[in-house]
Amino acid sequence: MSRIEIDGKSVDVPPNINLIEAARAAGIEIPHYCYHPGLSVAGSCRMCQLEVEQNGRKALVIGCATTAAEGMKISTTAERVLKQRQMVLEFLLQNHPLDCPICDDAGECELQNYYMKYGLHDSRVELAEKYRKHKVIDLGPTVVLDSERCVLCSRCVRFLQEITGTGELGIFGQGMDSELLTIPSVRLDNPYSGCVVDLCPVGALTDKDFRFKRRVWYLKKVPSVCQACSRGCNIEIYYDIRHPYKGPGRRIQRLKPRYNHFVNEWWICDRGRYSYHAVDAPDRLTTVQTRSSNGDSAPNIKRVLQEAARAIKNAKEKHGTKSIAVLGSANSSNEDLYVLHRLFTQHLGVHHFDVSLKSEPSGEEDEILRKADLAPNRRGALEIGLRPAASGKFSGDNIIRAALAHEIYVLIVVRHDLSLVLRPEDFNRLGNLDHLLYLGEHESPMVGIAHGVIPIAAWAERDGSYTNFQGRVQRTTQAFPPLGQARPEWEVWRLLGAEVGLTIKAKTAEEVFAELTKNVAAFRGLTWESLIPSGRMLAGVPEPPYRKVRTARPLE
Amino acid sequence: MNGIPQGLEQKANEIILRYPPEHRNAALVPVLFEAQKSLGYLSPEVEAWAASTLGVTPVRVREVISFYSMMRREPAGKYHIMFCHNVACSMRGAESLQRYLESKLGIAAGEVTQDGLFSLAAVECLGACGWGPAMLVGEEQYFQLTQEKIDKILDELRQGRMPAGDSPTPLIGNVGLPTE
């Protein structure tokens, strides 16, 4: 620890941190463009200049490349510091096209923000004299470059060298002619491309998925956790439901990474970044359906659950609990899985249940963030006890086999599309079970063969907690209400419980979680509040050691 | 590899050996200059070859080439003339001399003659401010240029002979500086 003074305020700072971080610790924001805590220091933008007094000598230094040392007196408000910031901004804006009215970054642009705070100069450059560069360069499948807007901070260049090790972007030319570009044979197409848009402090790099869709000041955000794989990267959901005429059906506008020291640092992969499209996809299930409706009044959830409850009771009486099986989903939240477990295994005594199938789709895995297991909560399902515990109980694949062999009479399936794992004739035979209840978010062939179908809320439409592959329990937040008749999965189990004589008092996800922490040893000691902002490890699971998120082969 | 002469490959390997193996990419600038010397310019094939030989990305190679003004991505003439247009040479008549040279070659700075023999570039300081006007032809330097001296140099080059370049030392007396 060394003691320094920032704007008259005495602060103790840890060793080896720079003045930007030291000031941040003291609650003071130093303006900067090129510095990013996740990347090497370039020192090129000169925006973070500060006046430092040490041993009686005063000097202007750049905060990003100066390490805090004992006895430093730092001024962020000295007159020459303010003057320097104004001059740096004037240089950066000298050839800036000022196309803010059509720029996607307007509203969250550091050129705009710092100009209003520190710049406020009158431009001395006529529009006609401005230096022209390339506009609308299609860099790859996700990113567009406008090099006129670029301030040459090189964050994107360093990200592609140090974090992904792919090096698709470079700064060509020298001096006045310097320009961020790539060469025609190279496409910015790696699994983390979207991060360069987050890094860009101005509007030079924009995301094709978000370009021209919505002004950023219309967006609201809630903290959440990515559902695209078992890593559980922390994210923010940016959504807008107040202007439906601007993009019908599109509630989520984009996902952005949210810093978590132990999980994803500042980054997310593109698979996760664009995974939100499923939430607003046109094939979302929004109505309760039952095979026995025969065109009379629209079915309600009570009727579908009564039919299921009757089938469950019948099967139990005639064939015993061995004739009932549940194929849950590792995409469900801890609360869903807990109520499911409580209802079927503890209350009804069903012991054929699982959440996993051998042939579930898997994704590409790398040492940066992506995991092959695409389900966000398989660890949670295992901890809660949704796995075949002993021999004689069926795992996911055996449940299906047993259902086809007439050993199972009532089958409950969550999300899984069994038409992907069965031959068509076998798949259609599942429709001959006494009862097949299907809970899902999206249209699937399962809807065609199920006796009852209940739409469930997508992850952004509800609160929940998920356990990542390391055993970290993290919380998602509801951004907006579910579509149509969809509701959180645990609510469906709670209602079904009421039909078969199980009363669950909890009425919110938080209350379910509180019950879960009392009854499942692995979750003991956790509280709903403690999961914000960065999650908590399961009881008895040690925090994994810190690891810098980056490729094993960074470029020099 | 495609279009890369054997000799250049060998030369590049010699250059690479001058650097620590973990900093192989430090050889990028000398290897590119060697390639430009042997081929006249840095073609896309050479860029790709340099990237794979030195284990750097093609984007990095382009960054380096575009940074250094003495690296060319377009073919130059057999004799590439770099004519200084900085202030010291200009004060000794380089401006009119450059126009003379341009009219004599029939090209402007930045162009190549039809026969491919000469190319001309107006460049920044050649470090010969005391002996201007100055120019380089390839790696030979010529100082205190006059129309006559330029005529003589071009004539010799047209006949395929490289006239001996000037060395600064004997010239020192001519501009009134004290000699040892």
| Cβ-based neighbour number of residue A336 at 10 Å | 29
| CA–CA gap between residue B66 and residue B71 (Å, rounded) | 7
Residues B30 and B103 in one domain: no
Q: Tell me if B163 is assigned to some domain.
A: yes
Give the helix ranges, DSSP H, for A94-229: 110-114, 155-162, 195-199
Residues B106 and B60 in one domain: no
| Cβ-based neighbour number of residue A555 at 10 Å | 19
Provide the total of helices (H) and of strands (E) in chain A, helices listed first. 14, 22
Angle between helical axes of B58-67 and B44-54 (0-180°, round to 10): 120
| pLDDT tens column, B112-170 | 999 999 999 999 999 989 888 999 998 899 999 999 999 999 999 999 999 998 887 65
Search chain B and give the residue with CA nearest A185.
B58
Q: Tell me if A76 is assigned to some domain.
A: yes
CB contact under 8 A, B57 and A182: no
- The pLDDT confidence band at residue B179, using thresholds 50, 70 and 90, is very low
Out of B56, B57, B66, closest to residue A172 by CB: B66
Give the helix ranges, DSSP H, for A320-459: 334-341, 378-384, 396-404, 424-429, 445-449
Print the domain residue range for B34.
Answer: 6-67
pTM of the model: 0.91
Give the pairing of strands A73-75 and A2-6: parallel
Q: Tell me if B37 is assigned to some domain.
A: yes
Question: Where is the domain boundary, B15, B33, B67?
Answer: B67
Residues B120 and B59 in one domain: no
From A350, A351, A352, A347, select the one nearest A500 (Cα to Cα): A347
pLDDT of residue A389: 59
- Convert A255-293 to b/e letters by CB count within 10 Å (16 or more is b): bbbbebebbbbbbbbbbbbbbbebbbeeebbeebbbbee
Q: Tell me if A388 is assigned to some domain.
A: yes
| Cβ-based neighbour number of residue A40 at 10 Å | 12
Residues A343 and A440 in one domain: yes
| Cβ-based neighbour number of residue B23 at 10 Å | 10
Q: Tell me if B164 is assigned to some domain.
A: yes
pLDDT of residue B178: 45
CB contact under 8 A, A555 and B59: no
CB contact under 8 A, B58 and A183: yes
| CA–CA gap between residue B24 and residue B55 (Å, rounded) | 8
Question: Where is the domain boundary, B21, B41, B67?
Answer: B67
Whose tokens are 């000298």? That residue is A94
Search chain B and give the residue with CA nearest A555.
B56
Give residues with Cβ within 8 angstroms of A128, minimum separation 6.
Answer: none
Q: Tell me if A106 is assigned to some domain.
A: no
Q: Tell me if B125 is assigned to some domain.
A: yes
Out of B23, B58, B60, closest to residue A185 by CB: B58
Q: Tell me if B130 is assigned to some domain.
A: yes
Question: Where is the domain boundary, A278, A313, A341?
Answer: A278
Number of domains into which chain B is organized: 2
Whose tokens are 């659950």? That residue is A305
Print the domain residue range for A206.
Answer: 127-278
Question: Where is the domain boundary, B67, B89, B104?
Answer: B67
| CA–CA gap between residue A17 and residue A416 (Å, rounded) | 49
Residues A59 and A170 in one domain: no
Residues A243 and A307 in one domain: no
Residues A335 and A481 in one domain: yes
Q: Tell me if A547 is assigned to some domain.
A: no
DSSP letter assigned to residue A45: S
| CA–CA gap between residue A44 and residue A154 (Å, rounded) | 8
CB contact under 8 A, B60 and A182: no
Residues A86 and A162 in one domain: no
Residues A487 and A532 in one domain: yes
CB contact under 8 A, B63 and A171: yes
Task: Specify the DSSP element, H or E, that contains A268.
Answer: none
From A30, A27, A19, select the one nearest A52 (Cα to Cα): A19
| CA–CA gap between residue A2 and residue A16 (Å, rounded) | 10
Residues B106 and B147 in one domain: yes
From A237, A202, A197, select the one nearest A221 (Cα to Cα): A237
CB contact under 8 A, B60 and A167: yes
Q: Tell me if A118 is assigned to some domain.
A: no
| CA–CA gap between residue A167 and residue A161 (Å, rounded) | 5
Residues B99 and B168 in one domain: yes
Q: Dig out the tokens for B94 from the structure.
A: 């380089």
| CA–CA gap between residue B90 and residue B92 (Å, rounded) | 5
Out of A169, A174, A556, closest to residue B59 by CB: A169
Residues A298 and A444 in one domain: yes
Torsion, Cα of A250, A251, A253, A256 (10° steps)? -140
| pLDDT tens column, A226-249 | 999 999 999 999 999 998 888 888
Task: Collect all residues of chain A within an 8 Å Cβ-Cβ radius of residue B26.
Answer: none
Q: Tell me if A112 is assigned to some domain.
A: no
Tell me how far apart the terminal alpha carbons of chain B are, to the nearest angstrom.
Answer: 53
Q: Dig out the tokens for A336 from the structure.
A: 């869903």
| CA–CA gap between residue A76 and residue A493 (Å, rounded) | 57
Residues A213 and A327 in one domain: no
CATH value at residue B62: 1.10.10
| CA–CA gap between residue A361 and residue A382 (Å, rounded) | 19
Q: Dig out the tokens for A173 from the structure.
A: 């030319």
Search chain B and give the residue with CA nearest A165.
B57
* Cβ contact A520:A339 at 8 Å: no
CB contact under 8 A, B59 and A183: yes
Residues B98 and B58 in one domain: no
CATH value at residue B94: 3.40.30.10
Residues B86 and B167 in one domain: yes
Distance from CA of A152 to the nearest CA of B (A): 13
Q: Tell me if A183 is assigned to some domain.
A: yes
Residues B90 and B159 in one domain: yes
Task: Collect all residues of chain B within an 8 Å Cβ-Cβ radius of residue A170.
Answer: 57, 59-60, 62-63
Whose tokens are 């509007």? That residue is A203
Distance from CA of A246 to the nearest CA of B (A): 39
Give the pairing of strands A143-145 and A137-138: antiparallel
Q: Is A175 on the interface with B (CB under 8 A)?
A: no
Q: Tell me if B73 is assigned to some domain.
A: no
Residues B84 and B163 in one domain: yes
Give the pairing of strands A410-414 and A435-440: parallel
Q: Is A182 on the interface with B (CB under 8 A)?
A: yes
CATH value at residue A218: 3.30.70.20
CB contact under 8 A, A172 and B58: no
pLDDT of residue B3: 74
Residues A165 and A267 in one domain: yes
Residues A313 and A443 in one domain: yes
Q: Tell me if A99 is assigned to some domain.
A: no
* Cβ contact A467:A380 at 8 Å: yes
Task: Collect all residues of chain A within an 8 Å Cβ-Cβ radius of residue B71.
Answer: none
Please state, in angstroms and as integers, the Cα–Cα distance from residue A290 to each residue in A218, A409, B16, following that order.
Answer: 40, 18, 74
| CA–CA gap between residue A143 and residue A136 (Å, rounded) | 10
Q: Tell me if B74 is assigned to some domain.
A: no
Interface test with A, best of B57, B62, B64, B70 (most A CBs within 10 A): B57
User: A326 by DSSP, 3-state: which?
Assistant: strand
Tell me which residues of chain A have a pLDDT lower than 70. Answer: 293-297, 388-393
CB contact under 8 A, B59 and A167: yes
User: A296 by DSSP, 3-state: which?
Assistant: coil
Residues B53 and B111 in one domain: no
Residues B104 and B56 in one domain: no
Question: Where is the domain boundary, A69, A93, A117?
Answer: A93
Q: Tell me if B72 is assigned to some domain.
A: no
CB contact under 8 A, A186 and B25: no
Q: Dig out the tokens for A100 from the structure.
A: 């803010």
Number of domains into which chain A is organized: 3
Residues A81 and A134 in one domain: no
| Cβ-based neighbour number of residue A352 at 10 Å | 26
Reply yes or no: is the peptide bond before residue B133 cis, omega within 30 of 0: yes
Give residues with Cβ within 8 angstroms of A129, minimum separation 6.
Answer: none
CB contact under 8 A, A173 and B58: no
* Cβ contact A458:A441 at 8 Å: yes
| pLDDT tens column, B141-155 | 999 999 999 999 999
Q: Order of strands across the sheet with A435-440?
A: A289-290, A452-455, A435-440, A410-414, A324-327, A352-354
Reply yes or no: is the peptide bond before residue B75 cis, omega within 30 of 0: no
Residues A80 and A170 in one domain: no
Distance from CA of A372 to the nearest CA of B (A): 28
